[in-house]
Structure 1
Amino acid sequence: MALKLRLKPCERVVINGCVLQNDNRRHTLTVSNFAHIIRGSDIMQEEEADTPVRRAYFVIQSMLLDPGAAEQYSSIITGIMAKLYNAFVHPEMQDRIMQAMQNVSERDYYKALACLRPVMQYEETVLDGAKRRHDAMDEPRVGG
């Protein structure tokens, strides 16, 4: 089954490591066979990889963008994902992490990234809650 990519004006897409950029009009590309594809808007910059799950996402993204270097990242991502699996006690998040690893082993990096997106959202929620609790502890108490 073919994949149809509807590109917005000036949108970028990476296909098998090749960066394509649309012109000033909407356009549809049809990809007729398997390819490693990621939209420019889904590409994380290295400085954004500032949490454990985001670092995992960035490494898998690097495997997608540079298939030639994917082998060298293999042991790195295995270690990161094992630590994530042990750190997250939420069964749904563990399932998503395991599915992401399965996708990596099948070299379907885009699906692996898709599995990690909800884990990133969950991680952000947990970190925000911890920050709010920490900030609340730092507030001066009135009348005490």
Structure 2
Amino acid sequence: MRISLRAGEQIYVNGAVLRVDRKVGLDLINDVAFLLESQVMQVGDATTPLRQLYFIVQLMLMSPHDVADSKSLYRDHRAAILLVTENADVRLGLEAVEELVEARRYYDALRKIRALFDVEHAILNGTPVLDAAQVA
């Protein structure tokens, strides 16, 4: 996989933070866990239940040696979300996230959670949300 970074940009690779001082291209040749700086959520941005779940899964990816504590927190938080939501898209999305987390595919789990942010936003703002079942 080839990744292009701008000067001053950071990338998180297997728990390490790398900052480049000039525009550079990186070839990731083997299987690595990485996040681009733009994909990293800061703790102050984890203001909703799904954003908090994203932050927790992000910890699993960025700190591969401390996954046990993050996974326990993830399980509790995911269970709490499932207790309070009836939205089919969120429930199905969290099922898929669970499978990805169990397979240690944290990057894919983050993508799946990010895809649910718009649904969560609509729910929290009281705007109509069409479930996948309602669209079909």
Q: TM-score, normalized by length of structure 2?
A: 0.84
Residue pair 1:85, 1:98 contacting (<8 A) in 2 also: no
Within-5 A mapping of 1:99-110: 99-110=96-107
Determine the structure 2 residue equivalent to 1:40: 37
- Partners of 1:124 and 1:9 in 2: how far apart? 33
Following the alignment from structure 1 to structure 2, what is the Cα–Cα distance between the partners of residues 31 and 40? Answer: 16
Kindly indicate whether the alpha-carbon contact (under 8 Å) linking 1:63 and 1:73 is maintained by their aligned counterparts in 2.
Answer: yes
Equivalent residue for 1:24, pick from 22, 33, 49: 22
- Unaligned 5+ segments in structure 2 are 128-136
1:41 Cα deviation from its structure 2 partner: 1.0
The structure number with the bigger radius of gyration is 1
1:5 aligns with 2:29: no
TM-score by length of 1: 0.80
Q: Find 2:82's aligned residue among 81, 85, 106.
A: 85
Q: Measure how far apart 1:7 and its partner are.
A: 1.4
Aligned residues: 127
- Say which SS state the counterpart of residue 24 (structure 1) adopts: coil
Q: Distance in 2 between matches of 1:85 and 1:118?
A: 17
Contact 1:6 1:28 survives alignment (8 Å) = yes
Q: Is the Cα contact below 8 Å between 1:56 and 1:77 reproduced in 2? A: yes
Q: 1:112 aligns with which of 101, 109, 112?
A: 109
Identity of aligned residues (%): 27
For the pair 1:124 / 2:115, whether they are aligned, the reply is no
CA distance in 1, matches of 2:124, 2:87: 15
CA distance, structure 2, for counterparts of residue 115 and residue 85 of structure 1: 16
Shift of 1:15: 0.2
Question: Superposition RMSD on alpha carbons, in Å?
Answer: 1.6
SS of aligned partner of 1:68: helix
